[in-house]
Amino acid sequence: MSIHLIMFIAFGVVCVAGAINLLAQSHPINSALSLIAVMGALAGEFLLLGAEFVAAVQVIVYAGAIMVLFVFVIMLLNAGAEERTQGSRVAIILGVPGMILGSVLLAWVVLKHSGTQAVAVGALPGPPSTIGQLLFHQFLLPFEITSVLILIAIMGAVVLASKPEAVQKRKEH
Amino acid sequence: MVPLSYYLVLSGILFACGVLGFLIKRNIITIFMSIELMLNGVNLSFVAFAAHWHALAGQIFVFFVMVVAAAESAVGLAIIIAVYRTRETLNVDQVNLLKL
């Protein structure tokens, strides 16, 4: 058993435990913290695959920026523990066995019918310089389009989250 | 050395947990976090395939997924705030009409 496999299993256990904890917790803030744990462990998996820049961006953008936004909204809205309803009980009874069955089936098919070629540590070095060259040459148009998307998202967020009275007041002036 | 299939199984398990959370959770913010979990599972399989096929384009695609996730969470959380302002609840069972 190589050190690579041991680290893969360690990060993978943290990932799956965090994901299950996200489902088990009833308070949103606990779910958010376990999602941050999942994202940190996933960054470790990216490092094992030799994707250093992706791992860094995963921690900065996902675990940093996006999750801080989530935690801000949870605190702003003072979200309490969720209550169980009829619909959620039906979803648990049907959903949990279905998803476990589906995951086991998928795992069996993938493990049984795929090549078992191993991925080596640092097999594909993805230094930021190479990624930047690819991003600004081959993928320049998608990159520019995402900047427009981000701009639209910012404006949409400002319009949606602004208070209705403030919009009303602006119209009167 | 870890086989590619192990990474795919881990990514599948994360995606399945995300789908399950989407189905069983009743808090709109937790449902939103389940979507992020699904996107993370897909990102892992993108990076694993990029390493397996020696194609850096897979890593580039992860960045686009992250950008779309960031835009989605910004707009989605703004919608959640707007919904909470009009209905004063975060339970999706009580948010079944677009218009009050």
- CA angle (A161, B77, A60) in 5-degree steps: 120
Q: Name residue A166's beta-bridge partners.
A: none
ipTM for the complex shown: 0.91
Q: Which residue has the tokens 């339970």?
A: B91
Taking a C-beta distance cutoff of 8 angstroms, is the pair B1, A120 a contact?
yes
- Among the partner residues B17, B34, B75, nearest to A160 by beta-carbon distance: B75
Q: What DSSP character marks residue A65?
A: I
Taken in order of first residue, the domains within chain B and their CATH numbers are 4-94 (1.10.287.3510)
- Show pLDDT as tens, one digit a residue, over chain A (173 residues): 788 889 999 999 999 999 999 998 889 999 999 999 999 999 999 988 888 899 999 999 988 899 999 999 999 888 777 777 777 788 888 888 888 888 888 888 888 776 656 655 555 666 888 888 888 999 999 999 999 999 999 999 999 888 777 656 666 76
Contact assignment for B59 to A54 by CB distance below 8 Å:
yes
For an interface test with B, give the residue of A2, A5, A26, A66 to mutate (most B CBs within 10 A): A66
Distances (CA, A) of A74 to A27, A82, A146: 10, 12, 27
Is B60 in CB contact (< 8 Å) with chain A? yes
Determine the Cα–Cα distance for residues A119 and B51; give it in Å rounded to an integer.
7
What distance in Å separates residue A118's CA from the closest CA in chain B? 4
Query: Does the CA dihedral B5-A14-A91-B22 come out positive or negative?
Result: negative
What phi, psi does B2 have (nearest 5°)? Answer: -120, 130
Q: What is the pLDDT of residues B3-13, one digit of tens each?
A: 888 898 999 99
A–B: how many Cβ contacts below 8 A? 239
